[in-house]
Amino acid sequence: MPEGAPLPAANALAASSRAQLFDRALGAYLGLAIGDALGATVEFMTPREIRHQYGVHRDMVGGGWLRLKPGQVTDDTTMSLALGEALLQGQQQGRPFDVGLMAEAFVRWWRGKPVDCGNTCRRGIMRYLAEGSVQGPPQPGDGGNGALMRNLPVALATLGAPECLEPVSIAQAHITHHHPLSDAATVAFGQMLHALLRHKEPQQALTTCKAIADHLVERFPKFRYQPYPGRATGYVVDTVQTVLHHFFATPDFEAAVVGTVNEGGDADTTGALAGMLAGALCGAQALPRRWLGKLERSTRMAITEQTSALLALALAA
């Protein structure tokens, strides 16, 4: 694994770097929600259908197949919040990174009647309810992006203990998704987030992210994203290619997110992941106001509160 600059002992971080870390972590989480809310409008559309209906889709107008309110988010954001909740609960109860708490959080999320839920997620939650098993059997035919889309809180919680990123990411993933490509992508995006959150300069962070992406492609050539194959489905390979293509082409937040969601397909999830990476790079202060202002207030508050609590958890280590 290529490594960026070593992370200083977490509790030795100066106040200014803590404030910067919070801004970047919040930028990643709000960026995820913005990409989700923006992309959901055009989820399952083709790029041609999007062009016909919107020209370039860039306004948070809601609608889509889920008939959302403007600024309303979907499972990508709400499952992340559920997972983050479980991580905080684990810390409070002296059961750090307890996968049983994560599975229970997904059950509560499901019982709260989320606006959408992927088939693989539903199947995994139903299996847990029926059998109590926190890991499903390997699913070679099913490399969905559902574990990747919700892993941000794990990256935040393990910031002070990077060696925990991989095992905790895979544990939460396997509750619903058990596939080598899903595992590899989920861990790689977590590593990219770590690099983006702790960078000294943006160029260095991007170089590290590219090295992580190269390493992923080396191990699993299916992820090759250059030249961009032009598919943006919920298959984790298509999702990763779409997000990396747009993020590396234009790491500017607005350009990356607009470019990504206009590929259509699983646009809320690709949008969420592009928003997460680009938001970590630019920080919350630099997020476009016109989108941030449209995001549901309750979502914004839950994200802000959870980001702060997860960083406190990470830095207490």
- Residue number of the CB atom closest to Mn ion: 74
CA distance 102 to 134: 9
- Cα-flanking dihedrals φ and ψ of residue 176, to 5°? -125, -35
Site map (CB under 5 A) of Mn ion, residues 136-175, x = contact = ----------------------------------------
Residue whose CB is less far from Mn ion, 23 or 268 = 268
- Taking a C-beta distance cutoff of 8 angstroms, is the pair 237, 223 a contact? yes
Q: Torsions phi, psi of 288, nearest 5?
A: -60, 125
- Distance CA(126)–CA(107), nearest Å, equals 8
Contacts of 13 (CB under 8 A, 6+ apart): 21, 315
Closer residue to Mn ion, CB minimum distance, 32 or 159: 32
Smallest distance, Å, CB 135 to Mn ion? 23
Q: Which is nearer to Mn ion, 76 or 166 (CB)?
A: 76
Window 253-292: contact mask with Mn ion (x via CB under 5 A): -------------x-xx-----------------------
- State the nearest-atom distance from the C-beta of 131 to Mn ion, in Å: 26
Give the total of residues touching Mn ion (CB under 5 A). Answer: 6
Candidates 62, 55, 49; CA nearest to 295 is: 62
Kindly tell me which of 41 and 74 has the beta carbon lying closer to Mn ion: 74
Q: Whose Cβ is closer to Mn ion: residue 146's or residue 190's?
A: 146
Least distance in angstroms from the C-beta of 70 to Mn ion: 16
* In the complex, minimum distance from the CB of residue 195 to Mn ion, in angstroms, rounded to a whole number: 25
Q: What is the rounded CA–CA span in Å between residue 153 and residue 81? A: 8
Shortest Cβ 30–Mn ion spacing (Å) = 16
Residues 58-97 that bind Mn ion (CB under 5 A): 74-76
Note whether 142 and 132 are within 8 A (CB). Answer: no
**Rounded Cα gap, residues 296 and 251, in angstroms:** 25
Sign of CA dihedral 307, 183, 41, 116: negative
> Do residues 82 and 146 touch, judged by C-beta distance below 8 A?
no
Which residue number, 85 or 266, has a Cβ lying nearer to Mn ion? 266
- Minimum CB separation of residue 34 from Mn ion in Å reads 13
Q: How near is the Cβ of 269 to Mn ion at its closest, in Å?
A: 4
CA end-to-end span of the chain, whole Å? Answer: 23
Is the Cβ of residue 76 or residue 98 nearer to Mn ion in the bound state? 76
Which chain residues interact with Mn ion by CB under 5 A? Answer: 74-76, 266, 268-269
